[in-house]
Structure 1
Amino acid sequence: MTAVAAPDHVRFEHHEPGALGIGEAAPRLSWQVSHAPADYAQRAYEVAWEVTRGASGRTEAGHAVVHSADQVLVPWPGPELAARDAVSVRVRVQAPDGEWSPWSARATAERGLGAGDWRAAMVGPGYDEGPRETRRAPLLRREVDLPRDLEGATARLHVTAHGLAQVEVNGVRVGRDELLPGWTPYHERLRTFTFDVTEHLRPGANAIGAWLADGWFRGRFGFEGGTWDIYGEHVGLLAQLEVTTRDGERHVVVTDDAWRSAPGPLTRASLYDGETFDARLLPAGWSESGFDDAAWHPVVTHPFDASVLAAPDGPPVRCTDELAPVTVTPTGPGRFLLDFGQNHSGHLRLRVPAASAGTVVRVRHAEVLQDGDLYTRTLREAASTDEVVSAGEALEWEPRFTIHGFRYAEVSGWPGSSGSSGSSGSSRSPGSPATLPPGAVVSRVLHSDMARTGWFHASDPDLERLHDNVVWSLRSNFVDIPTDCPQRDERLGWTGDIQVFAPTAAFLYDVHGMLADWLRTLDIEQRRFGTVPVYVPWIPGGRFWQPTWDIAVWGDAATVTPFDLFTDSADTGLLERQLSSATAWVDRVLDLAGPDHVWDTGMQLGDWLDPSAPPEDPMRATTDPHLVATAYLARSVAVLARTYAALGRDAEAARYERLAGEVRAAYQERYVGSSDPLHRSTTALALGLAFGLVPDGEPRHRAGARLAQLVRESGYRVATGFAGTPVVTQALADTGHLAEAYALLLSHRSPSWLAMVDLGATTIWERWDSMLTDGTVNPGDMTSFNHYALGSVADWLHRVVAGLAPASPGYRTLRLAPRPGGGLTCAGARHLTPYGEASVAWEIADGELTVRWHVPVGCTAEVDVPGVAPFAVGHGAGEVSAPWVLSDAVVRVDGSVADGELATAPTL
C-alpha cells in the first residue's frame, strides 16, 4: 500500500460534484490529498479522462502527465468539451521518489447547451391575464410520446424562464432548485439549468408541466412601493427536453406553439408580498399524461435572443435546513405565534388538516416582536404574508415563488382540533385553544446551496453567538445574489456590503461560484452605466438612488472583491475575467480625483451608518466622506497593481503601483497630521492605518496611539460604520493595541457587537441600534435585523483571535498566528482550503499557552506564536507551547475595564 493517499474531492472549476450543464469548454481541475508522508511534495500529476460526445455518443479517452506541484485549478489537459459532452476524470499524483498514488474516484461533469443548440421558443400564457395586481400565476403543459423502449436511455431537461419557473414531469417535481433561474440582467445574461430526468420518464405518453411566476422579471420590486415589469411585461418558459436512446437516437421536445396554458391556483405570487394558493383552483393531474386540456389556451411565443443564454457559475437556491418552532403560543381561536429561535430566510411548510372548502390559513412573518406581537413596520411595503385556501381535504403545502426573512410567524385560521401539544416550549392551560400538532409547521431555510467551509470557537459563549449570528446573516442574504436583507421591500445586491464582507464570506462558505456569477452582473451594469452602481442588478432606485453615481466603498467591489476571492482560492481566471471591470473603475476614479489624486468632489456615502448618525440621515457620519473616498482610491489602485502582478503583467503592475504611491502621498499631504476632527475620527485613523496610508515610524505610532485613545475614551463602544468597522480591530492590533481591540470586540456596552447579542440578536443588524436598549425598535425607516456588513469583524476573529489566514493565494502557504487576549482561555478556527482542512486552536492553562494546528497536504505554514520565534512547518499536525500570564484586564458588561490599565499585547 502506497504512503500517499489517492486524491479526493476532484472538482471541475467551482462546480458541485456531478454538475450538469456547466458552461466551460476546458474546465480547470482541482483535487486534495488527505494524507502523505512528512517529506511528500507533489512532483507530477496524471489525469485520465473520458469524454462521451453528446453529438455522436462516441467515447474518447486519454491521459496526460504533467510535471507540476500544482493541484488547484490546473489547466484542462483533454480535448475541448462541446455541448452535451459528458466527461469523467481520475487523478493520481507522484511523490518525489517517483512513486504514484492510487487513482482517485471518478469525477464527472456534463456541459450544457450552447446558444446554437437551442430549438425551443420562449412561450407564455396565451390569454388575457388581467390586472397585474390580481393576475394568477400561469400553468403551462404539453404531452409527448416517447419511444416504447427507454432501457438504457438518458434524458436531460434544459430550462430557464422570464420570471420564475418550477417544472414537473409526469406529476413529479424536477430537482430541488428554488427561485429558478435567479436574478440577472435577463436581456444581457439569462442562466439555464440542466436536470437529469431519466427516472421521471416512461415509455409512451408523458407530460411536462411548468408553474410560472413574476419573480424579479415583472413582479413588484424595489423602493417606494416598487416597480412592476422591470424587465418585461410577459413571463415565459424556455425548455428543451432531450431523450437519447441506447442506439444514440435523440428525441427533442421543446417549448413551442404545441404547449397549452391556463391560470393556476396561485392567485398571488410575490417576492415581497408572499403567496396565496387556492387549492380549489388546482386542476387535478394537470402535469400528468391523459389530462384534458381542451379548455386551456394556446401559448404565445415571445421574441428572444438565444445569445444571452449562459450556464451558472454557482449553485442554485435550495432548502438547506428545516427549523421547528421552539415555542408555539396560542393567541386566539385557530391563531398561534411561532418562534423559530433563529432569524433566517425561507418560508413555512404547512401540513393543514381537512377543513371546509374555502377555509383560509394565513401566515404573517416578522423578524422581531414588540409588546408581544409581530413587529412589521420594518418590512415597509412588503406584506410578507402567505395564504393557503382549503379545498376541503388535508394538504401539505409550501410557497413556490416567495421567500421571507423572519424569526417569528403568526399562523391564523388553523382548523380546530383537540389534539395535544407537540411543540417544545409550548403550554396549554385549561380552556386554551388546541396547539399545532407535531410537525404541522416547519420553516424551510432557503439560500444558495453553498458548502460550509469555515468554523470558529472560543471560550466566551457570547463571542461564539456573535460568530453564529454572522453565519446566519450570510445564509439569509446569499440568496442567488449577495443581498442586503431578506425581509423588507429591498433585498438588493448592494456592492458596498459585499465588498466589506467578502473575506468573511469566503472563509465561512464556498462562495466563489456564486460571487463569480454576481461579478458578471456587476460588469454588465458597469458597462451599461459607465460606473459601478451602488447595487447590482440595477433596478429603479426611487427618488434618491441613481445608477451613475461614483461612490467609494461600493464601487470598489469591482477591484477588491475579485482579489479577495483570489486570495482565498488562487483563481487567476476570475482576476483575468474581471480585470477590465477593475481597471475601468480605478481609471474612472483617478480621473475624478484629478491631478492632485484626492477624491474630494461629488456625493459620497462615507462611513455609512456610523452609530452617531441620526436615524433619518445615515450618511451624517463623524468622518469626512472624501477622506473615506480617497483612502479607498488608494486601496483600489494598490489592489489593481497586485492584480496585474498576479497575472504576470509586470508593466501594468508597475504603472498602478506608481499611481498607488502617488495617491498615498496625496492622502498623507491632505489628511495625515490634520487637526480637523473629521480627519481624526476612529474610522479615519483605522482606514489610514489598515490601508498603509500613514507613514511608518513616528506618524504611524502616533496614529495608533490616538486610535487606541479614542476607543478608550468611547468606553469601548463602537464608533464606526460600514467603512471603519471591517478594519478598526485590525488597525488597533497592528499598532500594538491588541488589548484595546479585544476590549472593543468584547464590550457589551451599546453600540457594540455583544450588545446586539444581549438584546437577543440571532443575526447581525443593519444598524448598531436596530433595537434600542429598552427593547423597542429603532424608529428609522431603514431598520433591518439581518444585514451581514457589520459582521465583517468575523474576518478578524478568524485571522487574529484564532490565528488562521492565507499567507499566499489559495492558502498554499498558511499563516498561523493567534493573538490571545480579552480574557479568553481558548479559541480556534477550521477552514476547508482548496487543499483540504486547515485548523488552528489555542488554549491557556496552568500558565502556559499551547497552540495546535493541522496543515493540509500541499501546503506549508508560517507559525508565529507569542513568546516563540517564528518558524515554518510542512503539512500535518503540530503544536507548540510557551509561558503565558493571563491578563487581569477584563472588560465588564458595562464596557469598563476591571483591574487597572489594559496590558500591551504582542503586535502583529
Structure 2
Amino acid sequence: MSATVTDLRVEHGRAALGLGTPRPRLSWQLAGPSGWQQESVEIALETGGRQVATAVVGTRDQVLVPWPFADLASRQRAGVRVRVTGVDGSTSPWSPATSVEAGLLEPSDWRARPVGASWAEEAGTDRRPSRVRRAFRLDGDVVSARLYATAHGVFEAELNGVRVGDDELSPGWTSYDTRLRYRTYDVTDLVETGENAIGAWLGDGWYRGRLGFNGGYHDLYGTDLSFLAQLEVELADGTRVVVATDDTWEAAPSPISFSGLYDGERHDLRLDDDGWSRAGSDRDGWTPVTVRARDPRTLVAPEQPPVRCTEEIAPLAHWTTSRGSVVLDFGQNLVGRLRITVDGEAGRQVTLRHAEVLQEGELYRRTLRLAAAEDVVTLGGGGPVTWEPRFTIHGFRYAEVEGWPGDFDPASVVARVLHTDMERTGWFACSDPSLERLHENVLWSTRGNFVDIPTDCPQRDERLGWTGDIQVFAPTASYLYDCSGMLGSWLQDLAVDQLPDGTVPWFVPRIPGGPSWEPIESGAVWGDAAVLTPWTLWERFGDAGVLARQWDSAKAWVDLILARAGDDRIWDEGFQLGDWLDPAAPPDDPADALTDRYLVATAYLYWSTRHLADTAVVLGKDAEGARYDAIAEEVRKAFAGRYTDGGGRTTSDAQTAYGLALEFGLVRGHEAQAAGDRLAELVSEAGNRIATGFAGTPVVAPALTRTGHVARAYDLVLERSCPSWLYTVDMGGTTIWERWDSMLPDGTVNPGEMTSFNHYALGAVADWMHATVAGLAPSAPGWRRVRFAPRPGGGLTHASGRHLSPYGEVSSSWRVEGEVFTLTVALPVGTTGEVSLPDGTIVEVSHGRHEFTCAAVVPVVGAAG
C-alpha cells in the first residue's frame, strides 16, 4: 500500500503569491501505512495546466527540499505537484497542484516611485496624513491583474472603491533604509474594462510616527508619507498594462487628521468621500503629488503572513461612570482596536480610550506612560455608520466610551484582535484549570506581541523588538505558532542593525534609545539572540537556511563577546541587564538581581559559543566548528573555576545561577546532581515561590526536572502565592505580566515604571509544560525525531499536548486511573520517536499511534551527565 501526499507547501506557508526567491523550497506531509518510508520524490512543474518539467530526487527529506528546476523569473506562475516512492517500491498518487508565483525579483522590474503630498510638512510633529490616487483606462478584456504595493508609512489600497486585501498595518516594520517589504495582491476581480481608479490611504505607522521612550522620536526613517505601487494588468490580447506611482498621481488631505501607533487616531467622517477611489470622482482639493526616491534594491517580498484581524470579541460587561461615560470589559487582555456602529448628529465626537486594568472602576492608564491610546471619531450625520481606526492598535481589556449619542447598546461595539496571522500549531490541556489558564495567558501574550515583529509589550510608549525577550521565549512561541517566517525576517533586520564590531542592539529594528540605551553596549541574553534564535528555528522548523543566512551575524556576536571576555574566558565587564526583573530587584532597578550579572554573562558566553560550534557543523564548516567547540570548553572550565566551588554550589546561591549552570551543561556529573539538589532546596526555602527574572525563568523548572526533582518543579509552577505564575491567574490576569507582581496583592498596580500586563518573557515556562507535563518535545531538527517523556505530578490526573510539526501532527496524551498510568502518542510519516515512561522504560516508536501503560509511580530521573 502506498502513501498519500496530504499537504504540499512552498517555503513555510501555503500561500505562494509574490514569492521573493527564484528557488522556493518545498515541503510535504504524508499519510501512509505502518512502517512506510519515503525513498525518493518526483516533482512536476506545470505551466498553464500542462506539465513542462519533472525531477526525481533521491531523498527521505520532506521538509524544505531544494527547488529542482531552473530559477523562476519575475512574475512567473506555475503549479507544482509531487509524488513519493517508498523503500518498498510503492508510489503515491500525484498530489494536487500547489500554485507558485514569483514577485518582482529584480530591481529593474520596478517602474514605480514613492508618491505623496506636495504641501510642506513640518518635521518632528504630528502631521495630517494624506491620500493618493490615479485614474486609468483599460482597453481590452482583463485576464489577470497584480498589485505590488508598499509605503513609507502604512497603507490601505483601494481599487474602484473596494479595499484591496485584508492585511493591516502593511508593510509592517523593518529596518526601512535597507529592507522595505512590498505585498503582492491578486486584484483580477477588481479591475474592469474601461475607466478605473486606484488609490491609497496613508498613515504614519513606524516610519515617521512617534516611537521610543520619554516622548519618543518622530521621522526616524523620513518625513514623508508616500505610496509606492505597481499595478500590472494582463489583457486578453497579451498586452501588459502597467500603472505605477509617478507624477501623474494626485494627493489630498485625509479625513484622518491624526494617526499614531501610541496615541490613536482621529477621523472626521464629515470629510469622507466614498467615491474618492472610483473613476470620475470629484477632483476638488486634489493636487499633483511629489515624487520621491527609493532604491528598488531595498524592496523585498515578505516571508511572513501579514497582520490581520483574527478574532472579534464582544464585551462581557459594561457600566456607566459618574461622568456619564461607559466602561466596557472584554474579559481578555488583547491587542487590536474597537469597531463601533453608531448613529448621531453631524459634528458629535465619540471618544474611545483603552487600558489593561481598572482601579476603583475606572480605567487605570499610568502604565501606558506617554501613550494616549485614544481614538476619536467625529460623526458625519446621515444615519448609522460602522467605524474603526485604520492605522493604530492598542493593548487593552477595558475601554471607555465617551460622547455616545443616546442610549448605549453594548452590541454596537466589538473588539477586533490583530496580530501577525501565523498558523497556530500548538495546544495543551490538563486536569488543572489554573494551569490551563496559565497556558492561555501565554498564548494571548504571544498573539498580542507578535504584531509584525516580536515586541516586549503592546500598550505603552515602547512596543519594541527587544532581543532578549524573544531569545528566551522563541522555543515556546515556536510550539504555539508557525512563527518561522516572522522570526526569520526579524533576524535579517537584526543582522542589518548589528554594529560593525558585532554588537547587537537591545531592540530590533534599531531606533534611538535615549541616555538609557545609547550608546549601544553588548549585553548578554539580549545580544545572544543573534546565535540562539536562529538555532531555535533550525531546531523547531528544520530550516538550515536560516542558520546559513545568519551565520555572519552569529559569528560576529560570538567573536565580539569572546574579545570582551579576554584570555581568561570570563565576561565580567561592561553594562549588563543580567537576570532582568528578578522579583527581588527593586522597582527602580530591575537589573539588581540575586544572581551576579557577570555569572549570567559568562554562562551565555559559553552557551552561544557552544551553539555557534554546532551551527558550523550543520553548515559543513567543520574546522570552525572544532575551533569554537574547543573555545566553548575553555569557557565552561573558566565558569566552573570562577563561579562554582567544585562541589555543586555556585557563587550566587540563587535559582537562576543553578538553572543556567544545569541547563547549559556548565556543571556535570556529581556536581550537576549536587547543584540540582541545592536548587530544589532553594525553591523549598522560598516556599516554592519563583525567584528568577528573564534569564532564569526558562531554565529553573527544566533544571529541577533534569536532576530528579520533578515534584519540586510542579510545586514551583503550581504555587499560588506571590511571586508565582498562578498568582497572576488568581489575580485575574489573562496574559503574562512583565513583573511577577505587576498587580500587588492588595489589587493596586506596582509603582515601577516598567509595569506591563502583557509581556511574554516570563511565559517561557510553557516550554516545560509542553515537554514535561504533556511530554512532547523535538529531539531532532524540525521534529523529525520526537521525545515523549511525560512526568506526571502536582496532583494532575491527565495532560495532553498536540503540535503541528513540519511533518504533520505530533501528540502525547496521558492519564492516571487508580494505580495505572496510560500514555498515548502519535507520530506522522517521516518521523520516529523515543518514549520514556515514568517507570524508566524506554521504547522506540515509528509513525502511527501507540499506547503504553505502566505503574503510576512518581518519576525518578537520573542525575545529569
TM-score with structure 1 setting the length: 0.93
How far residue 504 of structure 1 moved from its aligned partner, in angstroms, is 0.3
Aligned runs of 1:114-153 on 2, under 5 Å?
A: 114-129=106-121, 133=125, 135-150=127-142, 153=143
| 1:608 alignment partner, SS class | coil
Q: Distance in 1 between matches of 2:744 and 2:65?
A: 52
Deviates more, 1:289-298 or 1:504-513: 289-298
| 1:126 alignment partner, SS class | coil
How far residue 745 of structure 1 moved from its aligned partner, in angstroms, is 0.5
Q: Distance in 2 between matches of 1:51 and 1:229?
A: 46
- Closer, same or farther: CA 536–527 of 1 in aligned 2, 3 Å: same
| 1:349 alignment partner, SS class | strand
2:662 to 669, 673, 689: 689
How far residue 884 of structure 1 moved from its aligned partner, in angstroms, is 1.2
| 1:665 alignment partner, SS class | helix
Work out whether residues 819 and 906 of structure 1, in 8 Å CA contact, stay in contact via their aligned partners in 2. Answer: no
How far residue 546 of structure 1 moved from its aligned partner, in angstroms, is 2.2
Whether 2:759 is the aligned partner of 1:763: answer: no
- Closer, same or farther: CA 339–437 of 1 in aligned 2, 3 Å: closer
- Closer, same or farther: CA 676–338 of 1 in aligned 2, 3 Å: same
Work out whether residues 127 and 297 of structure 1, in 8 Å CA contact, stay in contact via their aligned partners in 2. Answer: no
2:36 is aligned to: 40
| 1:706 alignment partner, SS class | helix
- Closer, same or farther: CA 134–597 of 1 in aligned 2, 3 Å: closer
Match for 1:136: what amino acid? R
2:102 to 91, 98, 111: 111
Work out whether residues 533 and 547 of structure 1, in 8 Å CA contact, stay in contact via their aligned partners in 2. Answer: no
Work out whether residues 334 and 414 of structure 1, in 8 Å CA contact, stay in contact via their aligned partners in 2. Answer: no
Work out whether residues 160 and 238 of structure 1, in 8 Å CA contact, stay in contact via their aligned partners in 2. Answer: yes
1:497 to 452, 465, 469: 469
Whether 2:537 is the aligned partner of 1:565: answer: yes
Match for 1:573: what amino acid? G
How far residue 476 of structure 1 moved from its aligned partner, in angstroms, is 0.2
How far residue 79 of structure 1 moved from its aligned partner, in angstroms, is 1.5
Q: Distance in 1 between matches of 2:610 and 2:76?
A: 42
1:484 is aligned to: 456
| 2:531 alignment partner, SS class | helix
Match for 1:467: what amino acid? H
1:50 to 46, 50, 57: 46
Match for 1:46: what amino acid? E
Q: Distance in 2 between matches of 1:334 and 1:72?
A: 58
2:481 is aligned to: 509
Whether 2:15 is the aligned partner of 1:24: answer: no
Whether 2:792 is the aligned partner of 1:858: answer: no
2:581 is aligned to: 609
Whether 2:4 is the aligned partner of 1:13: answer: no
Deviates more, 1:371-380 or 1:528-537: 528-537
Q: Distance in 1 between matches of 2:504 and 2:316?
A: 43
Aligned runs of 1:537-576 on 2, under 5 Å?
A: 537-546=509-518, 548-576=520-548
Deviates more, 1:209-218 or 1:498-507: 209-218
Whether 2:533 is the aligned partner of 1:535: answer: no
Whether 2:272 is the aligned partner of 1:300: answer: no
Q: Which runs of 5+ in 2 are unaligned?
A: none
How far residue 380 of structure 1 moved from its aligned partner, in angstroms, is 0.3
> How many residues end up aligned between the 2 structures?
861
Work out whether residues 529 and 548 of structure 1, in 8 Å CA contact, stay in contact via their aligned partners in 2. Answer: no
How far residue 60 of structure 1 moved from its aligned partner, in angstroms, is 7.1
Match for 1:593: what amino acid? A
2:88 is aligned to: 97
1:234 is aligned to: 224
Work out whether residues 4 and 32 of structure 2, in 8 Å CA contact, stay in contact via their aligned partners in 1. Answer: no
Deviates more, 1:710-719 or 1:544-553: 544-553
Q: Distance in 2 between matches of 1:604 and 1:332?
A: 48
Work out whether residues 534 and 547 of structure 1, in 8 Å CA contact, stay in contact via their aligned partners in 2. Answer: no
Q: Distance in 1 between matches of 2:97 and 2:600?
A: 50
Match for 2:679: what amino acid? L
Work out whether residues 738 and 906 of structure 1, in 8 Å CA contact, stay in contact via their aligned partners in 2. Answer: no
1:398 is aligned to: 388
Aligned runs of 1:202-241 on 2, under 5 Å?
A: 202-241=192-231
Work out whether residues 529 and 547 of structure 1, in 8 Å CA contact, stay in contact via their aligned partners in 2. Answer: no
- The one-character-per-residue Cα deviations of 1:492-546 (angstroms, maximum 9, x if unpaired) are 0000000000000000000000000000000000146741011110111022112
- The one-character-per-residue Cα deviations of 1:422-464 (angstroms, maximum 9, x if unpaired) are xxxxxxxxxxxxx4152x1111100000000000011100000
- Closer, same or farther: CA 290–211 of 1 in aligned 2, 3 Å: same
1:426 is aligned to: none
How far residue 138 of structure 1 moved from its aligned partner, in angstroms, is 0.3
1:270 to 260, 271, 279: 260
Match for 1:126: what amino acid? S
- The one-character-per-residue Cα deviations of 1:329-380 (angstroms, maximum 9, x if unpaired) are 2336863111111111100111112x11100111000000011110000000
Aligned runs of 1:811-830 on 2, under 5 Å?
A: 811-830=783-802
1:336 is aligned to: 326
Match for 1:200: what amino acid? L
Aligned runs of 1:158-197 on 2, under 5 Å?
A: 158-197=148-187
Work out whether residues 165 and 212 of structure 1, in 8 Å CA contact, stay in contact via their aligned partners in 2. Answer: yes
1:368 is aligned to: 357
Tell me how large the CA RMSD over aligned residues is: 1.6
Q: Distance in 2 between matches of 1:339 and 1:61?
A: 58
1:420 is aligned to: none
| 2:150 alignment partner, SS class | strand
| 2:584 alignment partner, SS class | coil
1:157 is aligned to: 147
2:593 is aligned to: 621
Match for 1:123: what amino acid? V
Aligned runs of 1:316-331 on 2, under 5 Å?
A: 316-331=306-321
How far residue 47 of structure 1 moved from its aligned partner, in angstroms, is 0.8
How far residue 415 of structure 1 moved from its aligned partner, in angstroms, is 1.1
Match for 1:168: what amino acid? E
Q: Distance in 1 between matches of 2:861 and 2:765?
A: 19
- Closer, same or farther: CA 155–663 of 1 in aligned 2, 3 Å: same
- Closer, same or farther: CA 708–617 of 1 in aligned 2, 3 Å: same
Work out whether residues 824 and 850 of structure 2, in 8 Å CA contact, stay in contact via their aligned partners in 1. Answer: yes
1:893 is aligned to: none
- Closer, same or farther: CA 303–7 of 1 in aligned 2, 3 Å: same
How far residue 250 of structure 1 moved from its aligned partner, in angstroms, is 0.3
1:389 to 371, 378, 384: 378
Work out whether residues 733 and 907 of structure 1, in 8 Å CA contact, stay in contact via their aligned partners in 2. Answer: no
Match for 2:135: what amino acid? E
Whether 2:197 is the aligned partner of 1:201: answer: no
How far residue 6 of structure 1 moved from its aligned partner, in angstroms, is 2.4
How far residue 82 of structure 1 moved from its aligned partner, in angstroms, is 1.1
- The one-character-per-residue Cα deviations of 1:667-718 (angstroms, maximum 9, x if unpaired) are 0010111899852211111111110001322x22221111111100000010
Match for 1:628: what amino acid? V
How far residue 77 of structure 1 moved from its aligned partner, in angstroms, is 1.1
| 2:514 alignment partner, SS class | coil
Work out whether residues 682 and 720 of structure 1, in 8 Å CA contact, stay in contact via their aligned partners in 2. Answer: yes
Q: Distance in 2 between matches of 1:188 and 1:636?
A: 27
Whether 2:69 is the aligned partner of 1:69: answer: no
Q: Distance in 2 between matches of 1:60 and 1:795?
A: 45
2:342 to 352, 358, 361: 352
- Closer, same or farther: CA 862–627 of 1 in aligned 2, 3 Å: same
Whether 2:420 is the aligned partner of 1:448: answer: yes
Work out whether residues 737 and 907 of structure 1, in 8 Å CA contact, stay in contact via their aligned partners in 2. Answer: no
Q: Distance in 2 between matches of 1:603 and 1:135?
A: 38
Work out whether residues 866 and 906 of structure 1, in 8 Å CA contact, stay in contact via their aligned partners in 2. Answer: no
| 2:236 alignment partner, SS class | coil
Match for 2:70: what amino acid? P
Q: Distance in 1 between matches of 2:472 and 2:41?
A: 38
Q: Distance in 2 between matches of 1:14 and 1:532?
A: 27
